[in-house]
Structure 1
């Protein structure tokens, strides 16, 4: 009787084990992006940075329509007032509501960061892909060009180019659009070099892989190999560089506006607000405190997002 009971117990345990194995094998394997999202969620600072950045983006898009104070209305009687219930971030020398101007300025500053990043990513990816794939003389020439741009003093060159081309661009495209094109173009053209080096390194490694040789044997052309087979596998460092490039572009635009060579005075940007508030920092510190705080939080959030993407996408930096 005991042997029969023991046999039944063993059979039941084997059935349970087979059921567990079947349940595990029945689960769908995780995709690359689901694994990346799973790793990204473990990075608490990256998640916090994502929420902060999304909050800033939504606030700058929707906030000006919901806030009852105008960014351009002048109230000299309320000039240089500190934070209050009516003006949560105080007012400037002309009585402008600082909170309303920060909301409007975020549209310009974030737009400059994103578009300048797209320009630099496009140029860097294109040059890095051509250099890494073709190699030899093309690689040597493009890398010497990259070294030349890296050796240029970025900020003095930015100031010189904007000073020389500011008036022609404003006359051709208008004041706001002309300055936007000029600032975005200059920042993008002077910040593609790190991306080009990253993409080149990835192409040098991937072009010798077996799946690339197989694609060549099947008759795939050069453009197909570059854009369909190699480039999708080289996007992880590009994505990380893109997030960090947004923060760098925002700081650069703020620096230009702070030095008085950015957007015109009637266009509030975070850097312009800092520039206008520096003269009154002793009597009205809120004029530089709040614009500096939003620049700091936005750039810090973007950097944490870049760290989280690096850990999630790059297999060499798993959590």
Structure 2
């Protein structure tokens, strides 16, 4: 982010946050945002033993809990992502991630792939009031959860955001009331960018295989059907009205069907393959440092 403005930096949910506002945020604003983050983390973090998803995973059978406030919004979106990608994206991929070493202890010890079987929507059901897991599984909302939380923090701080507000959680960025030129970091060289995207009153989210990578070419973007990491896509960037949808589209674009989902949602995107080729959506306004697809 480039605009000279007041900045609030902090660490939360395993990533670095930066909030930019025209004037420094007062203590009340920071406490309110911190409370939003703590509530979300306490419900959805699979790394916390006291979270809702950890409680469900320990249930050992059918377990029903009061639905967290964001359950319907996120799981409804997961339903669309799963349908578009023929099951490659699933909120029950947590067990596969943990088995590959991305577990609550950050062991980074690969115990091999675990494939999801059947339709996850038969195992995990929800409505406005309840969330039910019908058999043991570990929920992971990483495909869109950080984007959802960025939206929540931006909404929480909107009362103090006169003059515009930018919320950046490790590259998932919400821009409100201002215009930002955001560099698209090269996935193999963080000192370089493959382009710049000008964003105003929208969100830009990115996903890349160089983030949360470990072991023998393992990373956090797994195909839920096989438990194997994606090998053909290196990085994606997506711009949407909300960070949750931008985050979700950035994940879906690692798989066949992601382009159709993005088009249906009206999301613009850029994608870089592991062989260095770059493609992008029709009408994409990013300024890319490349001559051709």
| Superposition TM-score, scaled by structure 2 size | 0.29
Q: Which has the higher helix share?
A: 1
- Higher RCO, 1 vs 2 (CA within 8 Å, ≥6 residues apart): 1
| Superposition TM-score, scaled by structure 1 size | 0.28
Higher radius of gyration, 1 or 2: 1
